[in-house]
Structure 1
Amino acid sequence: MAGNNSVNYVFLQRPVDDRVIIAQILVIIFLCINMLLIVIFIKKESFHTSARYILFFVTLLSDSVLLLVSNVLLILTYFEITMSVWLCITISVVVLLYFIVTPVTLTAMTLERYVAICMPLHHGQLCSTRSTMYCILIIHGVSSGPCIIILSMFFASASLKFYKQSMICNVEAFTLYRWQDHVRSAVYQCYFLIMGITIAYSYVQIMKVAKAASGEKKKLTHKGLKTVILHAFQLLLCLIQLWCPFIETAVLQIDVRLFKNVRYSNYIVFNIAPRCLSPLIYGLRDKKFFLVLKNLMPTSSFTCHFSGRVYT
Structure 2
Amino acid sequence: MKSNEISSGNLTGPGVYLGMFSLTRVIGNVVIVLLAITICFFNASMVHTFNKHQIFRFNPRYILFIHLVLNDMIQLTASISLYIFAHTFYTIYVSLCALILLPAVLTTNNTPLNLACMAAECYISVCIPLRYENICTVKKTYIVIAIMWLISLLTVLPDVFTLLIAEDLHFLKSRLFCERDTVFRSSYGKYKRDASHIFFLVVVFVTLFYTYFRVLLVAKAANSEAKKARNTILLHGFQTLLCMMVYVQPLLKQLVIYLFPEQRQHIQNTTFVLIQVVPRFLSPVIYGLRDKVFRMYLRKCFICVQVKAVRIKP
Regarding TM over 0.5, the answer is yes
Query: Which residue of 2 is the match for residue 273 of structure 1?
Result: 278
1:139 to 139, 143, 148: 148
Percent of aligned positions that are identical = 27
Q: Counterpart of 2:236? A: 231
Contact 2:126-2:226 within 8 A present in 1 as well: yes
Q: Which residue of 2 aligns with 1:303?
A: none
Q: 2:63, 2:141 within 8 Å by CA — same for their partners in 1? A: yes
Partner of 1:164: 173
Unaligned runs of 5+ in 1: 1-9, 300-312
* Residue number in structure 2 paired with 1:287: 292
AA matched with 1:201: Y
Quick one: structure 1 residues 249 and 153, their matched pair in 2 at CA, closer, same or farther if it must change by over 3 Å?
farther
State the partner residue of 1:106.
115
State the secondary structure of the residue aligned to 1:176: coil
Q: Answer yes or no: is the 8 Å Cα contact 2:94–2:173 preserved in 1.
A: yes
> How far apart, CA to CA, are the structure 2 residues paired with 1:183 and 1:250?
24
**Residue aligning to 1:92:** 101
Q: Which amino acid aligns with 1:129?
A: V
Q: Give matches, 1:1-312, under 5 Å.
A: 17-152=26-161, 154=163, 158-176=167-185, 180-213=189-222, 218-249=223-254, 258-297=263-302
Kindly indicate whether structure 1 or structure 2 has the higher relative contact order, using CA contacts under 8 Å at least 6 residues apart.
Answer: 2
Q: Is the 8 Å Cα contact of residues 243 and 279 (structure 2) preserved in structure 1? A: yes
In structure 2, do the counterparts of structure 1 residues 165 and 67 end up closer, same or farther at CA, with 3 Å as the change threshold? same
8 Å Cα contact 1:251-1:258 kept in structure 2: no
Task: Please give the TM-score of this superposition, normalised by the length of structure 2.
Answer: 0.82
SS of residue matched to 2:154: helix
1: CA distance between counterparts of 2:256 and 2:299? 47
Query: Take 2:185 and 2:119, find their aligned partners in 1: how far apart are those partners?
Result: 37
Q: Distance in 2 between matches of 1:230 and 1:254?
A: 30
Query: Quick one: which amino acid aligns to residue 69 of structure 2?
Result: L
Q: Secondary structure at the match of 2:36?
A: helix
**Structure 1 position 63, deviation (Å):** 0.5
Q: CA deviation at 1:130?
A: 0.8
The RMSD of aligned alpha carbons is 2.7
Q: Is the 1:14–1:79 contact (alpha carbons within 8 Å) kept by the matching residues of 2?
A: no
Greater mean alpha carbon deviation, residues 83-92 or residues 228-237: 83-92
Moved more, 267-276 or 253-262: 253-262
Q: Give, in angstroms, the shift of residue 186 of structure 1.
A: 3.2
**1:285 CA drift (Å):** 0.7
Matched AA of 1:123: Y
**Displacement, 1:239?**
1.1
- The Cα of 1:69 is off from its aligned counterpart by 1.5
TM score, norm. by length of structure 1: 0.83
* 8 A contact 1:192–1:239 mirrored in 2: yes
CA distance in 2, matches of 1:266, 1:38: 28
Contact 2:257 2:267 (C-alpha < 8 Å) held by counterparts: no
Contact 1:154-1:175 within 8 A present in 2 as well: yes
Structure 1, residues 82-128: CA drift from partner, whole Å, max 9, x if none? 33212221211111101111221111111111111111111101111
Per-residue deviation, 1:25: 1.6
Instruction: Give a deviation string over 1:125-148, Cα, whole Å, max 9, x none.
Output: 111111111111111112223323
Report how far residue 257 of structure 1 moved: 5.6
